[in-house]
Amino acid sequence: MMAHILVVDDDPIQRRLLKNAVERHGYTAHLAENGRVGLEFLKNSSGVINVIVLDLMMPEMDGLSFLAAIRGMGINTPVIVQTGQGGIETVVEAMRAGAFDFVVKPVSPERIAASVANALKLDQKETKARAVRRRTGAIGFNDIVSASPDMLRVIDLAQRAAHSIIPVVLEGESGVGKEMVARAIQSGSDRAGKPFITVNCGAIPHNLVESILFGHEKGAFTGASERHTGKFVEADGGTLFLDEIGDLPLEVQVKLLRAVQQGEIETVGAGKVQKVNVRLISATNKDLIEEVRAGRFREDLYYRLNVFPITIPALRRRKEDVPHLARVFAERFSVEQKLPKAVTINASAMALLTAYDWPGNIRQLENAIFRAVVLAQGDELTADDFPQIAAQLPDFRSSELAGSAVSNAPATFGSASEHAVREALADSPVFANNDRVRAGRPDAKALLAAAYPAAENLIASTDDAGEVRKLADVEEELIRFALKFYRGQMSQVARKLGIGRSTLYRKLKDYGIDPDDPLKEAA
Ligand SMILES: Nc1ncnc2c1ncn2[C@@H]1O[C@H](COP(=O)(O)OP(=O)(O)OP(=O)(O)O)[C@@H](O)[C@H]1O
């Protein structure tokens, strides 16, 4: 494959050096002298660029603003950032903003080639995987990975909604799984197998929303050279999923109200109404009632649509789901990538993933695992395989992160200042104060306890292999904890645990617990 590399650098000498290095490896180089020109190029090049090499220090639009702008445009092309000596803080920022790798100037042709090769590996697999994902068929409730009580409640509500045609509003931040739940509702309803049509109301220009939803006749307005069937008609007999409903212009809201109330739509320019049989599921990441108060959303429509609201919590509010999701994604991507064996995730990587807050929710976690699986060197993912997450958790450190390579590029290419940056990314005051972590290779629980001091008294529901723990093991741990907590006051321990004293004594015997030294392991 002929790969295309965009070099964004204000220094003409650097541009020429990079161009030579890139071309020597058989890639095509495109050059931009600043961020603004680079952005223009990306806008007009319709996805031709596979990797971007970006200078961080540039006048007019610096590298960080460029990174933010392309991510805002939904461009996920891997970006390698370059910085001068001493630019540690900016590099850390860039890694946080989603850069794939970084190099410190002056960069050798071998170093840049290794980094580009890694980035290309990711870019190609990502393109393929996206195509695979798009082709996947119906999604059912069984596909929704969940372990947290909050998510189980969401599924329970959604399953109930599936049994009727009641309008549902799914509320939640971007990437929490609103569309997935909407698809599962459709699959679990008697409309399964019928059309499921999605409209992202926030992504369509305001003047086109009406015609996209309700269709238009030929010549209905300037530019309407063909008759167009609207999404309501396409969804007839099935489900219409209106994403970002809060972004619908007020004038279209009136028409939507009529469609909901009377099951009738009027195609633009047709002059007559048409009956449709559509089940509506709407989604929003805005607070709709707030939109009503602000006059941006019609109150009557709000009450019509919001008959059955279901709120899907952000991933950071249901961290129990993280290990399960991570494991399922790792298995799925291993299959998609045709790996001989499914990659596993080791305890410190799992602790890192669990400690992170995932502002992009499950979509971001899914992408992070995808990237790690694609670039994995062995069949186990470690914290090193999540450099961008580690970069965003500067307070999180495992022994594996210390001094490690942020990228998978061979360490021999790294300069002294690259090493310094990688050390800076891994440095952590939290871990420095934790004996269990300092003492040696930390286990997952120690890492979690270090990331969350309050987690010291958490009792885990899953074991190191990610399976649900035996009830007896959890009971034993709880009794040991209670004895320590109430300093061996047996009557208080029994009362708080809600059992009689004789039962408590029997359990102490069963588990071999010494009430005077509850943490001591039975001989
Ligand atoms: N519980 C889950 N189990 C497995 N995969 C999930 C789960 N929730 C979400 N996903 C996956 O995460 C990605 C994002 O989910 P989805 O598109 O449904 O989110 P969304 O809330 O509709 O996002 P947006 O508001 O940005 O449209 C999808 O690839 C989806 O398959």
Q: How far is the CA of 235 from the centre of ligand 1 (A)?
A: 21
Structure tokens at 191: 């409309």
Question: What is the C-alpha separation between 4 and 49, in angstroms, rounded?
Answer: 5
Residue nearest to atom 15 of ligand 1 (CA): 177
Predicted TM-score of the model (pTM) = 0.61
Q: How far is the CA of 182 from the centre of ligand 1 (A)?
A: 10
Write the CA distances from 393 to 81, 178, 301, 431, integer angstroms: 19, 27, 42, 12
Q: DSSP H helical segments within 99-205, as ranges?
A: 109-135, 149-162, 178-187
Question: What is the C-alpha separation between 375 and 121, in angstroms, rounded?
Answer: 7
**How many alpha carbons fall within 13 Å on the CB side of residue 245?**
30
Strand partners, 268: 216
Residue nearest to atom 18 of ligand 1 (CA): 177
Interior angle at CA 332, CA 331 and CA 335, nearest 5: 90
Q: How far is the CA of 220 from the centre of ligand 1 (A)?
A: 37
Q: What is the pLDDT of residue 425?
A: 43
Please give all residues whose beta carbon lies within 6 A of any atom in ligand 1, as ranges: 144-146, 172, 174-180, 243, 283, 285, 325, 362-363, 366
Q: What is the pLDDT of residue 458?
A: 66
Q: What is the pLDDT of residue 457?
A: 52
As averages over each run of 10 residues, the pLDDT of the chain (523 residues) reads 88 91 90 92 85 90 88 82 73 76 81 84 63 60 89 94 93 93 95 91 80 82 76 93 92 88 82 88 93 94 93 93 92 88 90 90 91 87 88 61 36 46 40 33 41 51 78 90 79 88 90 79 51
Structure tokens at 112: 């840049």
Q: What is the pLDDT of residue 451?
A: 38
Greatest alpha-carbon pair distance for the chain in Å reads 88
Q: Among 320, 362, 364, 370, say which to mutate for ligand 1: greatest number of ligand atoms within 8 Å of CB.
A: 362
Handedness of CA 487, 492, 497, 502 (dihedral sign): positive
Q: How far is the CA of 38 from the centre of ligand 1 (A)?
A: 31
CA dihedral 156, 158, 162, 165 (to 10 degrees): 130
Q: Which are the contacts of 133, defined by CB distance < 8 A and separation ≥ 6?
A: none
44 C-beta neighbours (distance < 10 Å), count? 8
Q: Which are the contacts of 90, defined by CB distance < 8 A and separation ≥ 6?
A: 56, 57, 63, 64, 83
Structure tokens at 190: 């008697």
Residue written as token pair 């939109």: 291
Q: What is the pLDDT of residue 415?
A: 52
Which atom of ligand 1 is nearest to 180's Cα? Answer: 18
Residue written as token pair 């649900």: 468
Q: Provide ipTM, 2 decimals.
A: 0.99
Question: What is the C-alpha separation between 17 and 106, in angstroms, rounded?
Answer: 10
Q: What are phi and psi of 167, to 5 degrees?
A: -65, 135
Question: What is the C-alpha separation between 292 and 268, in angstroms, rounded?
Answer: 27
Q: How far is the CA of 341 from the centre of ligand 1 (A)?
A: 26
One-letter identity of residue 230: G
Which atom of ligand 1 is nearest to 182's Cα? Answer: 18
Q: What domains are defined for the chain? A: 4-135 (3.40.50.2300), 141-313 (3.40.50.300), 317-387+417-457 (1.10.8.60), 471-511 (1.10.10.60)
Question: What is the C-alpha separation between 3 and 50, in angstroms, rounded?
Answer: 6
Residue nearest to atom 16 of ligand 1 (CA): 177
Question: What is the C-alpha separation between 282 and 515, in angstroms, rounded?
Answer: 56
CA dihedral 466, 469, 473, 477 (to 10 degrees): 60
Residue 238 and residue 194 in contact, taking contact as beta carbons nearer than 8 Å: yes
Q: DSSP H helical segments within 188-239, as ranges?
A: 206-214, 231-234
Q: How far is the CA of 300 from the centre of ligand 1 (A)?
A: 29
H/E stretch holding 507: helix 501-511
Q: How far is the CA of 386 from the centre of ligand 1 (A)?
A: 20
Nearest to 368 by CA among 173, 169, 98: 98
Q: How far is the CA of 336 from the centre of ligand 1 (A)?
A: 18
Residue nearest to atom 6 of ligand 1 (CA): 177
Which atom of ligand 1 is nearest to 200's Cα? Answer: 27
Which atom of ligand 1 is nearest to 328's Cα? Answer: 4
Q: What are phi and psi of 280, to 5 degrees?
A: -100, 130
Q: What is the pLDDT of residue 375?
A: 84
Residue 278 and residue 240 in contact, taking contact as beta carbons nearer than 8 Å: yes
Q: How far is the CA of 181 from the centre of ligand 1 (A)?
A: 8
Question: What is the C-alpha separation between 322 and 354, in angstroms, rounded?
Answer: 6
